[in-house]
Amino acid sequence: MTKIGIDKIGLALPNYVLDLKDLAAARGIDPNKYTIGLMQEAMAITPVTQDIVTLGAQAAAQILTEEDKATIDMVIVGTETGIDQSKATAVYIHGLLGIQPFARAIELKEACYSAAAGLEFARNHIANRPEAKVLVIASDIAKYGLNSGGEPTQGAGAVAMLVSANPRILELNWDNVYQTRDVMDFWRPNYSPYPKVDGRFSTEQYTDCLQTTFEHYRLQSGKELDDFAAVCLHIPFAKQGLKGLRALQPSPKHEERFFEAIRYNQQVGNIYTGSLFLSLLSLLEQSKALKAGDDILLYSYGSGAVCELFSARLVSGYRDQLMTDRFEQMSKRQRLSMEQYEELFFETIPIDEMGNSPELPEDNSPFVLTKIENHQRIYHKH
C-alpha cells in the first residue's frame, strides 16, 4: 500500500501577543489561575489586516515550492472563522499562492475538528492518485469577547500541511475512528461575532468523547495506549489536554511527551482547527525522545460535537523537515498593552453603503487584507 501522510508543516502566527499576566492584572484575577489553572502563558492577537486567508496563505507559502504548486490538485481549509457564507477561504488562498488552476478548493466546517477530516480526505484522494499532492490548512481566530469566560483562551494562527505519497514527516496509519454527538457545548450563531459557550459542559464533553472514542478505537484497532510513543490532543488550553490525557491512564513517558507537545500552544492560545496540529508541531520540534518508526496517537475534538482518533508513524529523517528556531521567531512578536489588545483585537472594519471600507493600516506581513471594495475583500501579497 502506498505510504501517504504529512510531507511538510508550515505555521503562521500573527505579529502581536498578549501576556496572560497582563490580562489577569486588568481583570483582577490571580495570574496563577491562567498560568497554573489553565496552564497558559500568552495569546496570539491579530490586527484587522490579518484574517484566516492571510494566515492560511502565510503558513502554506512557508513550505511550498514551485513544484508543489504545480502538483497540488486539492486545497482544503478547515476553519470556524469563515469570512464569507458562500465563497470558500480555500479559493482565495489558492489564488494568492498561485497554485495550478486544475485543482479543487473547498472549506470544511465543524468547530475545531474539520482539519482532521481534511487530512483523511487528502489521504483518500492520494490513495487513488499517488502523484497528487493536497494542501490542508487549519486557520482560525479564536475570539470570545472582552471580559468573557473564555477570554484567556483566545488565540490566532494557521497550520498548513502538505499531504503526499512517500511523506517525509509522518505516515498516516489507516486506523481512524470517529464519534458524533449532538450537544450544545460551544457554537456560534450567524448573527453573533462571538461563540456561545457552556464552559464546564464543554470540558466534560471533550473528555467524555475522548474516553468513549478511545474505547471504540481499542476495539477497532486492537492497539493499546502503550503502543504509542506520544499522544497529541486538541488543546483549547493546555490543562484541558492534560485532563483528557490523564483520563486515558497514560504512562509517565506519555506525560513527558505531553509537556513537550503543549509548549507552542501555551504561547499562542487556542487556534481552534489548528490547535491539534500546533501541538503536533511542538512535539516534533521540541522532543528529543522521539525516533523514526514511533507511532503518535492524535485526538481531534470539535464542539457540537465531532471527534476523531487516528495515528501516524514518524518517518526516517523527519527532523530535517522541521524548524529549530520557533521560539526565537515567537520572541519577535510585539507584546501588547491591555489598551492596545482591546483596541486591536476587537476593531471592526467600517463599510459604507456601497460596500467600501477605508484603506486599512500598514502591515508588513507576507499577506495582508488591504481594504474592502464593493463588498469584496482585497488582499495583497508582499
The x, y and z cell numbers of residue 342, run together, are 482591546
Other beta carbons less than 10 A from residue 127's beta carbon = 14
Classify residue 173 by its DSSP letter: P
Question: 268 near 44, Cβ under 8 Å?
Answer: yes
Binding of residue 210 to ligand HMG (CB under 6 A): no
Subset of 296-335 contacting ligand HMG (CB under 6 A): 301-303
Site string for ligand HMG, 1-30 (x = CB under 6 A): -----------------------------x
Subset of 329-368 contacting ligand HMG (CB under 6 A): none
Beta partners for residue 231, in sequence order: 297
- Stretch touching ligand HMG by CB under 6 A, among 68-76, 130-138, 146-154, 337-345: 146-154
Of 94, 107, 110, 112, which is the active-site residue?
112
Binding of residue 246 to ligand HMG (CB under 6 A): no
The x, y and z cell numbers of residue 57, run together, are 496563505
Q: How far is the CB of 144 from ligand HMG (least distance, A)?
A: 7
Beta partners for residue 335, in sequence order: 17
Q: How far apart are CA 332 and CA 330, in angstroms?
A: 5
Binding of residue 37 to ligand HMG (CB under 6 A): yes
Q: How far apart are CA 315 and CA 318, in angstroms?
A: 6
Beta partners for residue 138, in sequence order: 78, 159
- 304 a known binding residue? no
Is 234 tagged catalytic? yes
| Count of residues in contact with ligand HMG, rule CB under 6 A | 30
Q: Nearest to residue 37, comparing CAs of 24, 18, 19, 22?
A: 24
Q: Nearest to residue 182, comparing CAs of 200, 203, 209?
A: 209
Is 131 tagged catalytic? no
Helices (H), the chain: 20-27, 31-32, 52-61, 66-71, 89-97, 114-128, 199-221, 238-247, 252-261, 263-268, 275-286, 326-331, 338-345
Place of cell 507537545: 261
- The residue among 114 and 221 lying less far from ligand HMG, judged by its C-beta, is 114
Q: How far apart are CA 237 and CA 125, in angstroms?
A: 33
- The residue among 202 and 221 lying less far from ligand HMG, judged by its C-beta, is 202
Peptide bond into 229 cis (omega under 30): no
Cβ-closest residue to ligand HMG? 37
Classify residue 86 by its DSSP letter: S
Beta partners for residue 380, in sequence order: 368
Q: How far is the CB of 4 from ligand HMG (least distance, A)?
A: 26
Query: Which of 199, 218, 340, 380 is close enough to bind ligand HMG by CB under 6 A?
Result: 199
- 243 a known binding residue? yes
Query: Which of 112, 119, 136, 283 is close enough to bind ligand HMG by CB under 6 A?
Result: 112
Is 380 tagged catalytic? no
Query: Where on the phi/psi map is residue 23: left (φ > 0), alpha (ψ -120 to 50), or beta?
Result: alpha
Binding of residue 111 to ligand HMG (CB under 6 A): yes
Q: How far is the CB of 278 from ligand HMG (least distance, A)?
A: 12
- 288 a known binding residue? no
Of 94, 107, 110, 234, which is the active-site residue?
234
Subset of 153-172 contacting ligand HMG (CB under 6 A): 153
Query: Which of 56, 118, 150, 155 is close enough to bind ligand HMG by CB under 6 A?
Result: 150
Site string for ligand HMG, 68-87 (x = CB under 6 A): ------------x-------
Site string for ligand HMG, 269-288 (x = CB under 6 A): -x-x----------------
Beta partners for residue 77, in sequence order: 107, 137
Q: How far is the CB of 112 from ligand HMG (least distance, A)?
A: 3
Residue 16 backbone dihedrals phi, psi, to 5 degrees: -120, 150
Q: Nearest to residue 256, comparing CAs of 276, 230, 285?
A: 230
Binding site as annotated, residues for (3S)-3-hydroxy-3-methylglutaryl-CoA = 30, 144, 243, 270
Instruction: Kindly list the catalytic residues.
Output: 80, 112, 234
State the binding site. 30, 144, 149, 243, 270
Binding site per annotation, positions for substrate: 149
List contacts with ligand HMG (CB under 6 A). Answer: 30, 32-33, 36-38, 80, 111-112, 149-150, 153, 185-186, 197, 199-200, 202-203, 206, 234, 236-237, 239-240, 270, 272, 301-303
